[in-house]
Structure formats: structure tokens, C-alpha cells
Amino acid sequence: MANNASDIATNSICIDSGSEKKTPALSDGALLPGSLCTIIAATGYVDGADAGGVEEFIGILEKSYNKTIDEFRTAGKPVTLIIPTQGKKYIVRIDSANTAAGIPGKPLELSATSEGKVMDAATLDDKTMCRLAQVYNGTDDFAIVWWGAV
């Protein structure tokens, strides 16, 4: 079961080694590491990206240096978004209500109903953001994915 990111890893949402491109932002006080985010231009705060919104996906919220991987960062405090790299593995939040059980390779896209999560891709098209990198049971809140439609 992966109901917390710490069920998978504890140090980072990036599973693969190597340097990552990152961008700074400010915490909204509600998003967990592994959330897919945008940055609100007027405030610099992160916001959960979703398929129905007008915001643009920027990166995956990384764990804060002084918090565990399962903790929210206080609103207004600095956070980091990892700009995902094609083919690398990351821990992301899953919209379990809209994602059926699946095997590695299953395509995922931004959730239309939950901010900052991914869900089953309706079709294999340009909306596919990542693929499962492990078996998913259909109920977990976090999963490891390969970034990109590879």
C-alpha cells in the first residue's frame, strides 16, 4: 500500500539518481510532495494543476529539507518544484477514484477532478504525461511513474 509517499521513499520524490532542474515557489500550505503543480503568477504560490483548469503544469512538488516527505509545508514558506525529465521515475499523487488498477506502462494524465494528481488517460494521446512504473492496485494515493509517454 502506498497511502503516503513515505511508503515508497523518504528522501525525495525523484526515484532515479542524477541532477534535476528545479524552480522555486512558495507553499500554499495544502499540497503534499508528489503533487503536480503550477505557480500562481500574482503570488508565487504553488497550486495543484488539473486538466480542466487554465493553469499550466510546471513541476512536481519536492519534499522540503526540514519536513518529512509526508508533511505539508507552511503557507508562504519556500518550496521547490522538480521539472520532470523524460524517462526518469518520480513519486506522484494518484486520483484513485478515477484510476483503475493497472500494470507498468499504463498511461496517465492530469486529473480533471483533483488538483495536483494524475489519473487514467482516456486515450493514448498528447495529454499523456507519464506511465505507471509499478503495479497499481486502484486504491493507493501515491505511485511511482516514468515521466513522459515512453
For 89-149, the DSSP string reads EEEEEB-GGG---B-TT-EEEE-SSSTT-EEE-SSSSTT--EEESS-B-SS-SEEEEEES-
Question: Residue 121 falls within a domain, yes or no?
Answer: yes
Rounded to a whole number of angstroms, the CA Rg of the chain reads: 14
| Domain count across the chain | 1
Q: How far is CA 74 from CA 8, 64, 80, in A?
A: 23, 10, 13
Question: Residue 139 falls within a domain, yes or no?
Answer: yes
- 113, three cell numbers: 477532478
Question: Residue 117 falls within a domain, yes or no?
Answer: yes
Question: Residue 67 falls within a domain, yes or no?
Answer: no
Q: Are strands 36-39 and 46-48 parallel, antiparallel or unpaired?
A: antiparallel
Q: What per-residue confidence (pLDDT) applies to 23? A: 96
Question: Residue 141 falls within a domain, yes or no?
Answer: yes
Question: Residue 108 falls within a domain, yes or no?
Answer: yes
Give dist(CA 5, CA 125) in Å, integer.
28
Question: Residue 106 falls within a domain, yes or no?
Answer: yes
**The residue count for the chain:** 150
Torsional class of 89: left (φ above 0), alpha (ψ -120 to 50), beta (otherwise): beta
- 133, three cell numbers: 512504473
User: Domain residues for 107?
Assistant: 89-147
Tens digit of pLDDT at every position of the chain (150 positions): 577 787 788 788 888 877 889 999 999 999 999 999 999 999 999 999 988 766 689 999 999 988 888 998 999 999 999 999 999 999 999 999 999 999 999 999 999 878 899 999 977 777 889 999 999 999 999 999 999 875
Give dist(CA 148, CA 111) in Å, integer.
16
- 111, three cell numbers: 486529473
Question: Residue 107 falls within a domain, yes or no?
Answer: yes
Which of 124, 118, 114, 126 lies closest to 144, judged by CA? 118
